[in-house]
Structure 1
Amino acid sequence: MSSSPRPALSVLDLVPVRTGQTSAQAVAASLALAVRADALGYRRYWFAEHHNMASVGSTTPPVLIAAAAARTSRIRVGSGGVMLPNHAPLVVAEQFAALEALTPGRIDLGIGRAPGSDPVITQLLRMSGTSSDVDRFPQHVQDILALVSPEGASLQFTSGGTYDVHATPAATTTPEVWLLGSSDYSAQLAASLGLPYVFANHFAGDGLERALGLYRGQYRPSQAHPQPVTFLTANVVAADTAEEADARALPQLRAMARLRLNRPMAAMETVEDAEAAGVDEAMTPIIAAMAQHWIIGTGDQAASELRALADTHGVEEIMVSPVAAARTSDPLDGADGRARTLELLAGALG
């Protein structure tokens, strides 16, 4: 057993929707998983933002965060992330300032600049006008930082005079703002603003070392964060046997392969459906390449790989995306495979 410190564990949830499952059942399953993560001692529980995808139910992180925060008592809850070009900065600031007021000291605002969907949905989300300008992303991040602070923001009129704006009338605490990304851009922006940063290692695959090097090397200390703050993300499936872990991983691997091959997307397959469908010639190399970057195995195997990953990249926290799919016999309003992943990791790294 390694003598290196146990990395803290957190969760990233896309609210997967399986075949035959309603949105209500998928959300209920994820909220139950958040409660379980809280009881197991996980540090954070973040919801992603994706749109118009049959297998993903996390379209509105602020709503899910509010529901999860109300059902938990200790764990930090946040977005991983809010795709800022889809929203007006003031709206985001007001939503997360309100969440911070509901559960002070437990809210994370993770911000990204990707669309989180296809071009058509992106256009529908950005019909509100100039707030959707991706080139203004750095300024919009700074606007949010000011708006959620107790001091608020001050607008300067060209004709003279100022106008004060606050996300909430009398804030005393603020959500912790993180920048998320899968390229050099967000790493460098986070460094320049003195903000915590997360590289999307769970889907990007390449560029992690370079992004972390840029972030740490160019970091400008801020009052809130004198030192750079970062952690890793990873797709993980842990089960009681290696064979069960492989089986639980297959539906998500097949879904990602279909996405890469531009095939029609559907609700997440069950383990039995994925095994019956098999893996065709086009999928085989894609799945093999992805599986090399995922952590799939028993609890002890997965924990050992997570510890090694943390040691290699010098982080003390890893956010796992528990991508274990459901079996047909699993309850529709539960997440048995994902819950078992969290339980085994917590036990092995405890």
Structure 2
Amino acid sequence: MKLSVLDLVPVRSAQSSADALAAALSLARVADDAGYERYWVAEHHNMPSVASTNPAVIIGILAAHTARIRVGSGGVMLPNHAPLVVAEQFALLEAATPGRIDLGLGRAPGSDPVVTAVLNRSGATSDVNQFPNYVSDIITLLGDEGATVRLTSGDEYQLRATPAATSTPDVWLLGSSDYSATLAASLGLPYVFAHHFAGAGAERALEIYRSQFQPSYLLDAPRTFVTANVVVAPTASEARALALPNLQHMARLRTSEKLGRLATVEEAAATTMTGLQDEFIASSLGSWIIDEPVAAAQRVRELAKRFGVDEVMVSPGASAYAAEPLNRALGREQTLHLLAAEFAADTAA
């Protein structure tokens, strides 16, 4: 079974953006060395706790400092970008590191209405209702032949994302609804349901995708995996302590409380949450995988079996102790090390 990583490039107390990026780079190297299949970064805007604002830029940095792991977006939020710009960015990334780039595309804006309005002001954003057409446009523009645009004069104009592509990134559709599953199936694209934050509906979405899948020149059979929030430590109690800052953060988000940077383990332990937030945290414990290595690995296997997949993408949700170096994420690195070791032991056996 394959393991992969989803990274939001979290920013914790006292960290700068530079520290958070350095920590992400260190984590990507751990994943690369430990044999993880792919490393994806998300797109979120104007959040104090998230430095992953521009996937294409971060992917370029990560790909240049890793050796074999696939690097990609989980995902590029297409309503924020012109399709040609996305195609150009990922064509260049693929040219620089052939065979290692994934382009995951999402339909949500990944931001609040104010940020969306600012992006619209620049004229760079696209109509969300045109999402299926823009996905098809990107795929066409990435190819060596490019696209033919018919001008109002009636003349034809050739358009390419790059002058002479010799390979193209893998294009994935991401989503948390039946809509994205249906679209991925109709276009013959690989698909990922965002189970790590929207677990409800995953079974239905994957059943729709598999049952309605139409083979394409890109893919001849359905291809999918699942995502999960995972924290692994030598003991279950330590794993819970490392996970608590992120659980509290998500509870604040769900209750519309103002967000700051991610708390340290010590800060989270000293924090009192509201009753509603405590209920959210308690309910999240059932969907997160927070445990010692043997039990955590078993739950990952069970998740893969439940959804009939051979790959799980983990979002390592461990925070840090106050004394840890600011340019590392030791708890997140530990999660990847311990989980990979358990699966390596399976392979050896």
TM interval, shorter chain, is over 0.9
Per-residue displacement from partner, 1:317-341 (whole Å, max 9, x unpaired)?
A: 0000001011111110001000000
Are the counterparts in 1 of residues 172 and 192 from structure 2 also a CA contact under 8 Å?
Answer: yes
Q: Give, in angstroms, the shift of residue 104 of structure 1.
A: 0.4
Are the counterparts in 2 of residues 79 and 108 from structure 1 also a CA contact under 8 Å?
Answer: yes
TM-score, structure 2 normalization: 0.97
Q: Give, in angstroms, the shift of residue 127 of structure 1.
A: 2.3
1:282 match: secondary structure: helix
User: May I ask how many residue pairs the two structures share in their alignment?
Assistant: 344
1:42 match: secondary structure: coil
Q: Give, in angstroms, the shift of residue 252 of structure 1.
A: 0.3
Matched, 1:155 2:149: yes
Per-residue displacement from partner, 1:247-298 (whole Å, max 9, x unpaired)?
A: 0010000000001111110000000000001333221111111111100001
* Aligned-partner residue type, residue 311 of structure 2: E
Are the counterparts in 2 of residues 181 and 187 from structure 1 also a CA contact under 8 Å?
Answer: yes
Per-residue displacement from partner, 1:45-99 (whole Å, max 9, x unpaired)?
A: 0000000000011001011100000000100000000000000000000000000
2:225 paired residue among 221, 231, 238:
231
1:266 match: secondary structure: coil
2:58 match: secondary structure: helix
- Quick one: percent identity of the two aligned structures? 60
The separation in 2 between residues aligned to 1:44 and 1:116, in whole angstroms, is: 22
Q: Give, in angstroms, the shift of residue 150 of structure 1.
A: 1.1
Are the counterparts in 2 of residues 149 and 174 from structure 1 also a CA contact under 8 Å?
Answer: yes
Aligned to 1:124: 118
Are the counterparts in 2 of residues 76 and 106 from structure 1 also a CA contact under 8 Å?
Answer: yes
Per-residue displacement from partner, 1:167-216 (whole Å, max 9, x unpaired)?
A: 01010100100000000111000000000000000001200000000000
The separation in 2 between residues aligned to 1:272 and 1:148, in whole angstroms, is: 48
Aligned to 2:51: 57
TM-score, structure 1 normalization: 0.97
The separation in 1 between residues aligned to 2:111 and 2:68, in whole angstroms, is: 32
**Which segments of 5 or more consecutive residues in structure 2 lack a partner in the other structure?**
345-349
Aligned to 1:323: 317
Matched, 1:308 2:282: no
Aligned to 1:4: none
The separation in 2 between residues aligned to 1:116 and 1:304, in whole angstroms, is: 32
1:244 paired residue among 238, 241, 244:
238
151-160 vs 51-60, greater mean Cα deviation? 151-160
* Aligned-partner residue type, residue 129 of structure 2: D
Aligned to 2:23: 29
Aligned to 2:198: 204
Q: Give, in angstroms, the shift of residue 26 of structure 1.
A: 0.4
The separation in 2 between residues aligned to 1:142 and 1:312, in whole angstroms, is: 31
2:284 paired residue among 290, 293, 296:
290
Are the counterparts in 1 of residues 2 and 37 from structure 2 also a CA contact under 8 Å?
Answer: yes
Are the counterparts in 2 of residues 87 and 126 from structure 1 also a CA contact under 8 Å?
Answer: no
The separation in 2 between residues aligned to 1:299 and 1:114, in whole angstroms, is: 34
RMSD: 1.0
**Which segments of 5 or more consecutive residues in structure 1 lack a partner in the other structure?**
1-6
The separation in 2 between residues aligned to 1:283 and 1:312, in whole angstroms, is: 29
The separation in 1 between residues aligned to 2:326 and 2:124, in whole angstroms, is: 41
Matched, 1:102 2:96: yes
2:329 paired residue among 326, 335, 341:
335
The separation in 1 between residues aligned to 2:98 and 2:205, in whole angstroms, is: 31
Aligned to 2:347: none
Instruction: After TM superposition, list the pairs within 5 Å mapping 1:272-283 onto structure 2.
Output: 272-283=266-277
2:170 paired residue among 176, 192, 199:
176
Are the counterparts in 1 of residues 119 and 125 from structure 2 also a CA contact under 8 Å?
Answer: no
Aligned to 2:211: 217
